[in-house]
Structure 1
Amino acid sequence: MKLRRFSPVLLAGALCLLLSGCFVKTVDELYTLPRHSDEYDNLQMAIDEVMAADGCSYSAPVSGSNQQSVQLADLDGDGEEEAIVFARTAGEKPLKAYVFDKKDGAYQNVAVIEGNGTAFARVEYVDLDGETGQEILIGRQLTDQVLQSVSAYALENGEIVELMTASYSQFTTCDLDNDGRADLFVLRFDAETHRGAAELYRYRNDQMQRGPEVSLAHDAASVKRIMTGFVAYNIPAVFVTSAAEEDTLETDVFIFRGGTFQNLSSLDETPQTVRNPFVYACDINSDGLVELPELVSLPAADASAETYSLIRWYRLGLDGSREVVLRTYHRFSGGWYVEIPESWDERITISRADEVEGARGGLVFSSWNGSAPAEPIFTIYAFTGDRRMERAQEDGRFLLLEQTDAVYSASLGTANQAKNLTQDELRQMFHIIHVDWNSGET
């Protein structure tokens, strides 16, 4: 099903307003539709009429990917998009979502979704029932604290039908049962006990059915990230990364298999605590599956040296087993990471490089063999400043990657591993850490 978060016309109109000095307009004026065509003039008039009659003001969702006050989606499956206007008024059930549809060539308010709360927290459009048309998920913030509710609605025969309502801390959608319809994954936390549990809502027998509650495998104080992906081929999953402490992360993997909603992490008896606030599950090797991280401390180059950690990325099997597929060192402060060959695992150490003019954060990767002196395999540098390209290629260094504000380069060392490593191979091992723009996290 095709999801339309907003119309290109709306986006273009908004940009025109911004570029023409709209900073002198009121907030409500900024939320209005662009004066673009007779059709949109008609819709704006219909919205203005309803808003004036009910004493409403625009109230855009405060989070998620749909944060416009006026959104477009085909709710009834007729091939024409309805306009959904998010507003707030005084009195009972102050949060209102007005649905406008075109009737006899003119837009009319055909339905309104009312609810309690202080703000629209989040809005999503998904196919829950497998029929034409999209259902709408509306998250509402009920208090100024953390209590929120999510409700699912369908537009049927011109009327709004509520499919379900539940309280939540976080929610996402994913077709966990592989039936071609989106399922609603709801996560809740108890702030006092630090216990969390998930529920899965699936559309069955013309209604949203709630399955048994499944607990997180460990205590948790907050959710850091929820993502969907595949834990195995054709086995979709929801990956919940939570924090028991500020710098301690754990990931739970929820699947629906054999008719049962379950937490695979409960089968994994190996401790998986990651004491690094930046390391999250991801598809690190682009194989279509999500890998989980395990941090392993490396031996120090000498007794006074700083300790660094390697990340082993593993797949979690359906029986709770682990399969390591990649090893990396991530330099989060520098925005890059490098792959480490399997044969080097537990046989390397990392130390700071000698200072080089124009370089920041240089690191030496050396061969480690117990009490024997460490021998450098390669050194990675990040050069900034006006002469960064020139300096990156001096004194035997070669380019790894050029970015807008930095040039990354390396030099090969004298260890045996360096003799079997080419410049091109090291370039292929080197990567930039990409930021998730939705979360602002790596």
Structure 2
Amino acid sequence: MSLPKLPGEYLLLQHEIDAILSTGAVYATAETGGNRQAVQLVDMDGDGEDEAIAFFRMPGGDFLVCAYQRTADRYEEIGRAEGFGSSIHAVHYPCVSADGHLALALSWGLEDASTYGMTVFDITDEGLESVLDIQYSSLLVEDMNGDSVDELCFAVRDAVTGGHSLHLYNYSGGGYRLMGETPLSVEVRSVSLMQFGVTRGGHSAVFVDSAATGGGYITDVVSLSGGVAVNETIDMVAGSGAVTWRLVSVSSTDIDGDGIIDVPVAAEPQSGSETQQSDARYKLHWFDFAQGEEPQAVATTYHSVAEEWYLMWPDIWGEAVTASRRSFSGVSRTTFSVSADRMPAEKNSRSLLTICVYTGDNRVSYAVADGVKIIRQTASSIYGYILPENAPIGYALTDEQVAEIFKLMERDWTAGG
């Protein structure tokens, strides 16, 4: 792998790097995350001047990380460390002091694809000094208590039992120390997303979305108060997190825009195959959690995950409306209708709204032929809708209401730990 030469200002650094490359080493880059360059310029000590962190793979397959500091007339190596993973999975720079001092956190890929290793280095007078070494399955780097210092939060899988737990580390006394830990739900098969937010009660919390054993997804809400981590969604006797189960792959998010992360739960309980095969599986109720209180319902949605759109369920629909979907070449139609038991059989159409999604090379001509109203377009899809002229009174929507409740799902392109 070859990279462009550094700009003139950094020619002195290039000389140092070339000396390592001449041994047969090659540049190495991280697989995920926002820090993927082989040479990264970062102000590690908070003095306003960038240090250089360079990553190499040595001829024997091991990794070498070198840190350089600019002096008056050259770049001087101030530390180096070796790594022995199968890859550099990700690179993080957690802040470890209020004055902006950063540590270097390297995540290593391991033979077990579901587990990573992490080594955290502090730059000291002795060079790159290891201050934490841990194996984990998912990671969150965040200032969780507002002191300008980043905590490290790990989801850790027990190699013997297969169970998962959440471990929280804070920086103290020159290193990262275990601050607290709590079990995650027994249903956790693999952690898909960890994010930091606040609960309805104002407590800081980590929201852990996971794929569940037996299918579906669950969320653990771990609140943090006074250095104590409490799992708000787990049954402390059975260890179950079934209260947050849903079949579809939808993660926790601030669904109603109030600054609190909400948790999606299946509108119909986890029961039998009939429920899982019906379109009711796409309907979700969203809840806020608060320490020691009953969860509070804040919204309902219908999520079409495969087509990357969702609908904020109108209050006037309540439990009276159902959804059905038909798909054929390049076109998908999801129709929302008043359920048959809410309207006499002799009434006209029960249809309220049809969302149409067009894909493929002929999507424009299909949309024009159907005469739909276009509501969104992406590089690969056209989203349109149809409002029937004689929709049932009391449930009908306007064009303005459709524009307000229709949303596209967002992707996290930088996820990685």
Give the TM-score normalised by structure 2.
0.84
Matched, 1:50 2:26: no
CA shift for structure 1 position 428: 0.8
Change (3 A) 1:331 1:212: closer
Is the CA contact (8 Å cut-off) linking 1:96 and 1:113 kept in structure 2?
A: yes
Matched, 1:336 2:287: no
CA shift for structure 1 position 418: 4.0
CA shift for structure 1 position 212: 3.5
Is the CA contact (8 Å cut-off) linking 2:96 and 2:149 kept in structure 1?
A: yes
The equivalent of 1:368 in structure 2 is 339
CA shift for structure 1 position 223: 1.6
Q: Deviations for 1:11-56, whole angstroms, at most 9, x for unmatched residues?
A: xxxxxxxxxxxxxxxx2x2xx343532x222211111113435x43
Distance 1:168 1:398 in 2: 48
Question: What residue identity is the alignment partner of 1:285?
Answer: D
3-state SS of paired residue (1:342): coil
Distance 1:96 1:354 in 2: 52
Change (3 A) 1:337 1:146: closer
**Residue segments in structure 1 that go unaligned for 5+ positions in a row:** 1-26, 299-304
The equivalent of 2:406 in structure 1 is 430
Matched, 1:414 2:391: yes
1:168 to 136, 159, 163: 136
Aligned runs of 1:270-285 on 2, under 5 Å?
Answer: 271-285=242-256
Change (3 A) 1:52 1:408: same
Q: Deviations for 1:313-368, whole angstroms, at most 9, x for unmatched residues?
A: 1111222521111111112233221111234222111224799xx98222221122
Is the CA contact (8 Å cut-off) linking 2:32 and 2:415 kept in structure 1?
A: no
Matched, 1:135 2:107: no
Aligned runs of 1:51-200 on 2, under 5 Å?
Answer: 51-52=21-22, 55-89=24-58, 94-143=62-111, 146-157=114-125, 159-190=127-158, 193-200=161-168
Distance 2:50 2:212 in 1: 44
The equivalent of 1:20 in structure 2 is none
3-state SS of paired residue (1:387): helix
Distance 1:213 1:407 in 2: 45
Matched, 1:259 2:232: no
Change (3 A) 1:222 1:279: same
3-state SS of paired residue (2:243): coil
Distance 1:223 1:354 in 2: 31
The equivalent of 1:230 in structure 2 is 198
CA shift for structure 1 position 159: 2.8
| Number of matched pairs | 396
3-state SS of paired residue (1:424): helix
Matched, 1:292 2:270: no
1:203 to 171, 193, 207: 171
**Residue segments in structure 2 that go unaligned for 5+ positions in a row:** 270-276
Change (3 A) 1:334 1:242: closer
Moved more, 79-88 or 274-283: 274-283
Distance 1:141 1:247 in 2: 26
1:391 to 369, 373, 384: 369
The equivalent of 1:316 in structure 2 is 289
Is the CA contact (8 Å cut-off) linking 2:186 and 2:241 kept in structure 1?
A: no
Give the TM-score normalised by structure 1.
0.80
Distance 2:119 2:324 in 1: 53
Q: Alpha carbon RMSD of aligned pairs, Å? A: 3.0
Question: What residue identity is the alignment partner of 1:83?
Answer: A
Is the CA contact (8 Å cut-off) linking 1:127 and 1:181 kept in structure 2?
A: yes
The equivalent of 1:400 in structure 2 is 375
Distance 1:423 1:211 in 2: 52
Aligned runs of 1:19-34 on 2, under 5 Å?
Answer: 27=1, 29=2, 32-34=3-5
3-state SS of paired residue (2:16): helix
Question: What residue identity is the alignment partner of 1:208?
Answer: Y
Q: Deviations for 1:386-422, whole angstroms, at most 9, x for unmatched residues?
A: 43553353xxx54433445414122134212345x32
Is the CA contact (8 Å cut-off) linking 2:38 and 2:55 kept in structure 1?
A: yes
